[in-house]
C-alpha cells in the first residue's frame, strides 16, 4: 500500500511543476514566445521535478532507486530541446551518482539509450500533433523503463519471473507510460489555450487598428489641405516676407502634427514585441490618448488626460497601450452624444491607478457583471472580446481592474497595477 502512496506522490511531483510552468510562464506576457528562455525554464522545472522524484523514491531495493524521474527527463528533452535539456540530464546523473549503489551503473549505461532515442525524435516532436506526441512520448517512457527494469531484474539474483516484486515492477513500468501521457496532455493543453488567447488578443488589436484607420486618414487629410492652401498662396510673388514666414511656419506645424498622428498609429499597429520593461504610466496614457484622438474627434468626444509623470509599472508597453485603447474606444462608443472622456494616472500607496471615465450610456449591474465574458457585446458588429483581452492582459501584469457604472450616467474603469520603484 505504501508503494501506491509513493507512486502518487511521484506523480504529483511531476504534475505540480507543470502548473507552476503555466502560472509563472505561459500566463505571463512574453512568456511562451521567447523560445530559448522558454526551453531553459522547462528544463529547470524538469530538473526540479526529477530531483523531487528521486528524493522521494517509490520503492527501494538495496542499491536501486525506483522513481518516475525518467518522465521529467524525457519531458525535458522533448520540450527543452537538446541543449537546454542538458540541465536535466546532468542533474539526474549527478544526484543518482550521489545516491550511489549498483543502480547507478545501470543508469549510467542504459539512460544514454533512452536519451539518444529522445534526441533523435526531439526535432520532429514539436511538429507533431497532440495525439502523436502523447503516443510517442508514452511509448518511449514505457520502453525505456521496461528495458531498465528487465536489466535490473536480471542483475538481481534469482529468476526474474519469480521475483516477489514482479507485480510492483510491472505496474511501475506501466505507470511511466501513464505519467508521460498525463504530463504531455497537460502541457499541450496549456500551450493550446495560451496560443488561442494570444490569437484572440492579436485579432482584437487588428480590429481596432482597422477601425482607427478611417479616422486617422480623415485626420491627416485636413492638415494636407491646409498645407496645400499655404503652398498655393506662396506661389504668388507679392506676399510680404513676414506673411511668407508665417505660412511656412504654420504649414510645417500642420505637417508635423500629421506626422505624429501617423507615427503614433504605426507604433500601435506594429506586431506585438513582447518585451517586459519599466513603463511610465503617464507616457502610455498620453500615447493612447494621442492615437485615439482622431477617432474621438470624429464622434464629438473630447479626451482630457492628466497623468503624473514618473509613475512606473512593469510590463509590455504595447500591451498596456492595447488595454488603454480598448477602454478608451469603448468609452467613446458609449458617449453617443459626445462629451468629455477623461483618463488619468495617479498613485495610491504601492499602486498606480489608471482611471478612464466616460459620461456615456453606462451599464446595468447585470451588464457590468457580464463584462469580460467572451462575446458579450451590445453593439452591432461588436465582438465582445475587447474587455476579455483587457482583463487578461491586466491580470498578466499582476494588476486588477474595477468597474463602476450607472445606466444613463457613465462608466469608470479603474486599472490597478503594482508600482515599480527604482
Binding interface with ligand ADP (CB under 6 A): 326, 330-331, 334, 358, 360-363, 371, 376-379, 382-387, 411
CB of 376 to Mg ion, least distance (A): 11
Beta-carbon contacts of residue 66 (< 8 Å; ≥ 6 apart): 57, 58, 59, 60, 172
Determine the residue with CB nearest Mg ion.
386
Strand order in the sheet with 400-406: 301-307, 339-348, 351-358, 410-418, 400-406
The distance of closest approach from Cβ of residue 31 to ligand ADP in the complex, given in angstroms and rounded to an integer, is 24
State the Cα–Cα distance between residues 297 and 334, nearest whole angstrom: 14
Nearer to ligand ADP, 208 or 220 (CB): 208
Q: Residue 145 or residue 215: which is nearer to ligand ADP going by CB?
A: 215
Least separation in angstroms between residue 281's CB and ligand ADP is 20
| Beta-carbon count within 10 A of 155 CB | 14
Q: Which is nearer to ligand ADP, 30 or 331 (CB)?
A: 331
Beta strands in 277-363 (DSSP E): 277-280, 301-307, 312-315, 339-348, 351-358
| Residue given cell 474603469 in the structure block | 413
Cα angle 395, 398, 400 (rounded to 5 degrees) comes to 60
Partner whose footprint covers residue 371, from ligand ADP, Mg ion, none (CB < 5 to 8 Å by kind): ligand ADP
Minimum distance of ligand ADP from residue 203's CB (angstroms): 12
| Shortest Cβ 384–ligand ADP spacing (Å) | 4
Residue number with CB closer to ligand ADP (36 or 203)? 203
In angstroms, the CA 17 to CA 14 distance is 6
43 binds, among ligand ADP, Mg ion, none (CB under 5 to 8 A by kind): none
Element (H, E) at 73: helix 70-84
Distance between CA 95 and CA 98 in Å, rounded? 5
Interhelix angle 86-99/70-84, nearest 10 degrees: 140
Nearer to Mg ion, 149 or 330 (CB): 330
Smallest gap, in angstroms, from Cβ of residue 110 to ligand ADP?
55
| Cell reading at 391 | 482583463
Q: Residue 292 binds which one of ligand ADP, Mg ion, none, with CB within 5 to 8 A depending on kind?
A: none
Pick the closer one to ligand ADP by CB: 144 or 319. Answer: 319
> Residue 202 binds which one of ligand ADP, Mg ion, none, with CB within 5 to 8 A depending on kind?
none
Binding site for Mg ion (CB under 5 A): 330, 386
Amino acid at each position: 500500500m505504501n508503494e501506491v502512496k509513493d507512486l502518487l506522490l511521484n506523480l504529483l511531483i511531476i504534475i505540480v511543476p507543470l502548473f507552476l510552468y503555466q502560472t509563472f510562464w505561459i500566463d505571463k506576457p512574453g512568456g511562451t514566445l521567447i523560445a530559448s528562455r522558454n526551453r531553459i525554464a522547462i528544463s529547470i522545472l524538469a530538473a526540479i521535478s526529477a530531483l523531487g522524484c528521486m528524493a522521494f523514491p517509490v520503492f527501494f531495493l538495496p542499491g536501486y532507486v525506483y522513481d518516475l524521474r525518467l518522465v521529467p527527463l524525457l519531458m525535458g528533452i522533448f520540450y527543452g530541446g537538446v541543449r537546454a535539456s542538458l540541465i536535466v540530464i546532468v542533474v539526474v546523473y549527478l544526484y543518482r551518482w550521489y545516491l550511489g549503489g549498483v543502480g547507478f551503473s545501470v543508469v549510467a549505461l542504459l539512460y544514454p539509450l533512452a536519451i539518444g532515442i529522445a534526441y533523435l525524435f526531439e526535432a520532429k516532436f514539436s511538429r507533431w500533433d497532440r495525439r502523436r506526441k502523447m503516443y510517442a512520448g508514452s511509448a518511449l517512457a514505457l520502453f525505456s523503463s521496461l528495458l531498465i527494469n528487465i536489466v535490473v531484474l536480471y542483475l538481481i539474483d534469482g529468476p526474474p519471473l519469480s521475483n516477489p516484486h514482479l507485480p510492483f515492477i510491472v505496474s511501475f513500468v506501466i505507470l511511466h507510460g501513464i505519467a508521460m501521457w498525463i504530463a504531455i496532455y497537460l502541457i499541450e493543453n496549456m500551450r493550446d489555450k495560451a496560443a488561442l488567447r494570444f490569437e484572440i488578443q492579436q485579432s482584437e488589436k487588428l480590429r481596432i487598428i482597422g477601425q482607427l484607420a478611417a479616422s486617422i486618414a480623415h485626420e491627416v487629410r485636413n492638415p494636407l489641405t491646409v498645407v496645400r492652401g499655404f503652398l498655393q498662396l506662396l506661389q504668388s510673388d507679392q506676399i510680404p516676407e513676414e506673411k511668407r514666414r508665417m505660412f511656412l511656419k504654420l504649414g510645417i506645424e500642420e505637417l508635423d502634427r500629421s506626422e505624429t498622428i501617423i507615427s503614433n498609429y504605426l507604433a500601435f499597429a506594429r506586431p506585438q514585441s513582447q518585451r517586459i520593461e519599466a513603463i511610465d504610466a503617464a507616457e502610455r496614457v498620453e500615447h493612447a490618448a494621442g492615437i485615439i484622438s482622431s477617432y474621438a474627434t470624429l464622434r464629438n468626444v473630447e479626451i482630457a488626460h492628466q497623468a503624473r509623470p514618473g509613475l512606473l509599472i512593469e510590463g509590455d508597453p504595447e500591451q498596456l497601450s492595447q488595454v488603454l485603447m480598448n477602454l478608451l474606444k469603448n468609452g467613446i462608443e458609449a458617449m453617443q452624444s459626445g462629451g468629455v472622456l477623461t483618463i488619468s494616472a495617479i498613485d495610491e500607496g504601492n499602486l498606480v491607478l489608471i482611471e478612464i471615465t466616460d459620461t456615456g450610456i453606462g451599464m446595468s449591474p447585470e451588464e457590468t457583471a457580464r463584462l469580460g465574458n467572451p462575446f458579450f457585446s451590445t453593439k452591432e458588429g461588436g465582438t465582445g472580446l475587447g474587455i476579455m483581452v483587457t482583463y487578461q492582459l491586466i491580470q498578466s501584469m499582476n494588476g486588477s481592474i474595477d468597474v463602476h457604472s450607472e445606466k444613463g450616467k457613465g462608466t469608470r474603469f479603474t486599472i490597478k497595477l503594482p508600482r515599480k520603484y527604482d
